[in-house]
């Protein structure tokens, strides 16, 4: 066994772990170590070099400008374009081309599309503003109100036309997939309607990109503290267990693993891979909710010291997978003004649509889960496919390139579209340190489950284990700014007890 000691241990060097560390250093406290299982910092921020540019495998956008600390940091450090000094509309540049076409390569009727989009997002906003208690899931509520609004807005003759009805459902299905991607779930039918109001969307542009990648935010955050930060950072440290002393709870009589390493009941024992042991007085866990779902039940020992309400909240809270399929071409086959290609699959029947939306990650139609392909600001030869789901993680790059090429040829009505020369993709579910992308309030979730996950584990008025990360923020779960703020919150908790 290799033993070492630190006063405070931070597990995870994602944005929440980094923001904690920097705030501690700003307050002249450096008696901590950061342990990261990977060989890099950033967590679900993962900017990789590619050719003369870069690709984002994780977080891509700053979501909102008003009261967003990430936007403020990016602006102050000149990490984003000057145009974002002004508060812009959600969609950024309205002059860009967005293609909406069906699987026969036919562009959708713009008037019907506009009405459908208007009705879908009105139904979406009704769900967010709902005041009364309900047992409905989010998907059911949105669909019911979408259809109700469409019947109110459209001429009855237009609405009752079978072709138009199928098109109205097809547009709903596409918006459904888009919102699955935005909310980090496989299906809106899995989301809680009554707790949907908990999420707060910040005003301003929702798709602000960094000039040199999200990684530049981390570099700016660390800034003048780089030497101390790197000194306190331990990469390739995979946490196995957190051991507490059985004496902290009177009714535990089992053999104490903790006591094999120290006699001090106020010390925490951290067991890492390669027989590395760290003793500390306090530990901050910033791992993903996906990691917790797979490991938390056996991570802290004795398990009797873990409050049931925390364990139950971790099980209830939703955590989904959003991935990117990045297609690299020798040269663009699209217009330079293109922003999005949105494939709108034709609907055979309403029953078939619901079956598709409730059963995703199906081998024979995994590519139907791709909601959009967008162009990349920093690389003119790249299309980025967005997908909520993980089945494709089991496929080879050649299989994905083939299926994406078939899809693009079909929806753009062009047989001359070449296969990409390269493919880069994220695999957030296969990554055992994340097991997905970000959190959401699932159908069975209780109100304030984020608070239950965030609540420190304490004994005898002493905090032993703290928690940070996007899934522990009450209103900004699923976001980088939420994760960042939870890191500051937990740093304040540490500083208060100094």
Q: What residue ranges define each of the domains in the chain, with the CATH number in brackets?
A: 2-47+211-319+433-496 (3.50.50.60), 97-203+322-389+391-425 (3.90.660.10)
Instruction: For residue 148, give both structure tokens.
Output: 């109700």
Cα(288)–Cα(44) distance, rounded to whole angstroms? 9
Q: What local confidence, expressed as pLDDT, does residue 483 receive?
A: 98
Cβ(24)–Cβ(293) below 8 Å? no
The number of beta carbons lying within 10 Å of the beta carbon of residue 160 is 11
For residue 308, give the 3-state DSSP assignment: helix
User: What residue spans of 317-396 are helical by DSSP H?
Assistant: 350-358
289-299 vs 308-316: helix crossing angle, rounded to 10: 150
Instruction: List CB contacts of 84: < 8 A, sequence separation 6 or more.
Output: 65, 71, 74, 75, 205, 208
Q: What does the pLDDT profile of the chain (498 residues) look like in tens digits?
A: 999 999 999 999 999 999 999 999 999 999 999 999 999 999 999 999 999 999 999 999 999 999 999 999 999 999 999 999 998 877 656 688 999 999 999 999 998 999 999 999 999 999 999 988 888 999 999 999 999 999 998 888 777 788 888 999 999 999 999 999 999 999 999 999 999 999 999 999 999 999 999 999 999 999 999 999 999 999 999 999 999 999 898 777 678 999 999 999 999 999 999 999 999 999 999 999 999 999 999 999 999 999 999 999 999 999 999 999 999 999 999 999 999 999 999 998 888 899 888 877 677 789 999 999 999 989 999 999 999 999 999 999 999 999 999 999 999 999 999 999 999 999 999 999 999 999 999 999 999 999 999 999 999 999 999 999 999 999 999 999 999 999 999 999 999 998
Query: How is residue 314 annotated by DSSP?
Result: H
**Residues 69, 485: Cα–Cα separation, whole Å:** 8
d(C-alpha 392, C-alpha 321), whole Å: 11
Q: What is the pLDDT of residue 253?
A: 67
* Per-residue pLDDT at 99: 96
Structure tokens at 343: 């494939």
Separation of alpha carbons 392 and 382, rounded Å: 19
| Dist. CA 65–CA 205, nearest whole Å | 6
| Rounded Cα–Cα distance for residues 179 and 106 (Å) | 23
Q: CA–CA distance from 13 to each of 86, 180, 245, 469 (Å)?
A: 32, 27, 27, 11
pTM of the model: 0.96
Name the nearest CA neighbour of 61 among 218, 220, 205, 222: 205
Q: What is the Cα–Cα distance from 295 to 286, expressed in whole angstroms? A: 13
Contacts of 49 (CB under 8 A, 6+ apart): none
Check residue 148 and give its pLDDT.
94
Distances (CA, A) of 420 to 97, 102, 193, 398, 478: 22, 22, 40, 10, 31
Antiparallel, parallel or unpaired: β 370-376 and 379-388: antiparallel
The verdict on whether omega for the bond into residue 302 sits within 30 degrees of 0, i.e. cis, is: yes
């Amino acid at each position: 066994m290799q033993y070492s000691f630190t006063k405070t241990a931070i597990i995870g060097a994602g944005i929440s772990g980094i923001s904690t560390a920097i705030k501690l250093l700003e307050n002249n406290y450096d008696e901590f170590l950061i342990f990261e299982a990977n060989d890099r910092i950033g967590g679900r921020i993962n900017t990789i070099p590619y050719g003369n540019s870069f690709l984002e495998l994780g977080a891509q956008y700053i979501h909102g400008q008003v009261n967003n600390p990430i936007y403020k940091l990016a602006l102050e450090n000149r990490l984003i374009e000057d145009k974002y000094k002004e508060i812009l509309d959600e969609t950024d540049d309205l002059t860009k081309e967005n293609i909406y076409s069906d699987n026969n390569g036919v562009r959708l009727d713009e008037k019907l599309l506009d009405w459908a989009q208007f009705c879908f997002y009105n139904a979406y906003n009704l769900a967010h503003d709902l005041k009364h208690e309900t047992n409905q899931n989010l998907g059911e509520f949105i669909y019911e109100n979408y259809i109700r609004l469409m019947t109110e807005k459209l001429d009855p003759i237009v609405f009752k036309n079978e072709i138009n009805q199928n098109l109205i459902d097809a547009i709903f299905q596409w918006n459904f997939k888009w919102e699955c991607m935005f909310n980090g779930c496989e299906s809106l039918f899995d989301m809680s309607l009554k707790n949907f109001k908990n999420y707060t969307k910040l005003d301003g542009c929702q798709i602000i990109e960094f000039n040199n990648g999200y990684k530049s935010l981390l570099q700016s955050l660390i800034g003048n503290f780089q030497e101390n930060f790197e000194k306190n950072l331990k990469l390739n440290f995979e946490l196995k267990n957190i051991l507490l002393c059985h004496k902290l709870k009177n009714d535990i009589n089992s053999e104490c693993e903790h006591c094999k390493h120290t006699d001090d009941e106020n010390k925490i024992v951290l067991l890492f891979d390669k027989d590395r042991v760290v003793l500390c007085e306090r530990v901050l866990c910033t791992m993903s909710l996906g990691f917790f779902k797979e490991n938390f039940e056996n991570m802290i020992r004795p398990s009797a010291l873990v409050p049931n309400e925390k364990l139950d909240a971790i099980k209830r809270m939703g955590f989904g997978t959003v991935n990117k399929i990045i297609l690299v071409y020798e040269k663009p086959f699209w217009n330079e003004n293109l922003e999005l290609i949105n494939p709108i699959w034709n609907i055979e029947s309403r029953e078939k649509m619901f079956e598709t939306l409730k059963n995703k990650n199906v081998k024979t139609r995994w590519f139907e889960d791709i909601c959009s392909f967008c162009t990349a600001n920093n690389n003119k030869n790249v299309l980025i496919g967005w997908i909520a789901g993980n089945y494709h993680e089991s496929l080879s790059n050649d299989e994905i390139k083939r299926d994406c090429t078939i899809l693009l040829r079909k929806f753009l009505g062009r047989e001359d579209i070449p296969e990409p020369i390269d493919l880069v993709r994220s695999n957030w579910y296969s990554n055992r340190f994340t097991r997905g992308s970000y959190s959401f309030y699932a159908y069975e979730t209780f109100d304030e489950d984020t608070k239950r996950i965030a609540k420190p584990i304490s004994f005898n008025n002493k905090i032993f284990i703290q928690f940070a990360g996007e899934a522990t923020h009450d209103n900004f779960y699923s976001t980088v700014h939420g994760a960042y703020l939870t890191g500051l919150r937990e740093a304040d908790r540490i500083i208060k007890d100094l």
